[in-house]
Amino acid sequence: MPQKLNEDVCDEKMFSMIYRKYKQDIYNFLYYRYGESLGPKDTMQEVFVKLLSHCKEVTPEKARGFLFKVAKNMMLNAIKHQKVVLKHQEVKPKDYTNESPEFILEQQQFLKRYQNALSRLTEDQRTAFLLNKVEGKKHAEIAEMLGITRKAAENRIYAAYNKLRSELEGFK
């Protein structure tokens, strides 16, 4: 009598053989690819439960591919779920401040004056100044980025600072 060509994984011996053969490979794949935080051991067990629930459709030859595809999809779904959970856990910024309305108004007015003063700087001065004060770059880094000497970068920064200080009272 010829052997059945299209065996399925539902046979207990076949499923046990597939489990023993691939359990460590699936675990290693999940652990090395996604780390310990998402529970690779639990996911590996769930992958085999999924194989058992689809055992009629999966042939032994296709079991390995099925297992790895399901494992990858389960982890990607877990990551997606984790992102959603983290998004909903974000702390909402408070709608109020302890500052007085006068302080907030002064702050907004100063910001407008500061932006106007920045716009009146030369492009070279503004670039060097913002790289230094906003991005925290050192003079040597700025010089290298702009293709100028360190001394030229320092001069641009100090010229911009002096111009801003003369136009804005209380600028430090």
Q: What is the pLDDT of residues 10-50, one digit of tens each?
A: 888 888 898 999 888 888 888 877 777 778 888 888 988 89
Computed over every residue of the chain, the mean pLDDT equals: 83
What pLDDT, on the 0 to 100 scale, is given for residue 150? Answer: 92
The one-letter amino acid code at 2 reads P
Model pLDDT, residue 42 = 87
pLDDT tens track for 71-103: 888 888 888 888 887 777 766 666 666 778 888
pLDDT given at position 172: 62
Domains of the chain and any CATH numbers: 12-89 (no CATH), 101-167 (1.10.10.10)
Per-residue confidence (pLDDT) for residue 171, from 0 to 100? 64
What is the average pLDDT across 52-70? 87
Tell me how far apart the alpha carbons of residues 154 and 158 are, in angstroms, rounded to a whole number: 6
Instruction: Give the Cα separation of 41 and 28 in Å (integer).
Output: 9
Q: pLDDT band at residue 154, thresholds of 50, 70 and 90?
A: very high
pLDDT at 43: 87
pLDDT in tens, 112-143: 888 888 888 888 888 888 889 888 889 998 88
Sorting pLDDT into bands at 50, 70 and 90, what band is 3? very low
